[in-house]
Amino acid sequence: MHPLYQQMPTSIFEKMSLAAMEHGAVNLGQGFPDFGWPQAILDVAAEALLSQSNQYAPSRGLPVLRQAVADHYNRHHSLVLLPEQVCITAGATEAIAAAIFATIAPGDEVILFTPAYDAYAPLIRRAGGVVREVALQSPAWRIDGAVLREAITGKTRAIVINNPHNPTGRLFDRSELEAVAAVAVDHDLIVISDEVWEHLLLDGQQFTAMASLPAMADRTIKCGSAGKIFSLTGWKVGWLVASPALATLAARAHQFLTFSSPPNLQEAVAFGLNEGDDWLGPMRQSFAAARDRMAGALRAIGYCVQDSAATYFHCVDLEASGIRADDRTFADRAVVEAGIAVVPLSAFAEIDPPRGFIRLCFAKRDSTIDAGVAALERAA
Ligand code: GLN
**ipTM of the complex model:** 0.95
Q: Measured from the CB, is residue 311 less than 6 Å from ligand 1?
A: no
pLDDT tens-digit series, residues 266-301: 999 999 999 988 989 999 999 999 999 999 999 999
Q: Measured from the CB, is residue 225 less than 6 Å from ligand 1?
A: no
Tell me the domain boundaries of the chain: 4-30+279-379, 39-274
Residue 8 confidence (pLDDT): 83
Q: Compute the mean pLDDT over every residue in the chain, rounded to the nearest whole number.
A: 97
Indicate the class that CATH gives domain 39-274.
Answer: alpha beta
184 close to 221: Cβ distance less than 8 angstroms: no
For a ligand 1 pocket test, name from 10, 32, 348 the mutation site with the most ligand atoms within 8 angstroms of its C-beta: 32
CA gyration radius, the chain: 20
pLDDT tens-digit series, residues 329-380: 999 999 999 999 999 999 999 998 999 999 999 999 999 999 999 999 999 9
3-class SS at 148? helix
**4-30+279-379 matches 39-274 in fold:** no
Report the sign of the C-alpha dihedral through residues 206, 207, 212, 216, in that order: positive
Of 183, 177, 199, 192, nearest in space to 247 by CA: 192
Burial class of residue 322 (count of CB atoms within 10 Å of its CB; 0-12, 13-18, 19+): exposed
Please identify, by atom number, the ligand 1 atom nearest to the C-alpha of residue 29.
10
For a ligand 1 pocket test, name from 13, 118, 194 the mutation site with the most ligand atoms within 8 angstroms of its C-beta: 13
Q: In this predicted model, which residue has the larger pLDDT, 131 or 1?
A: 131
% of the chain at pLDDT higher than 90: 96
- 189 phi and psi angles, rounded to 5 deg: -105, 155
Fold (topology level) of 4-30+279-379: Aspartate Aminotransferase, domain 1 (3.90.1150)
- 93 phi and psi angles, rounded to 5 deg: -60, -40
Examine residue 139 and say whether the peptide bond preceding it is cis (omega within 30 degrees of 0). Answer: yes
Q: Ligand 1, atom 8: nearest CA belongs to which residue?
A: 13
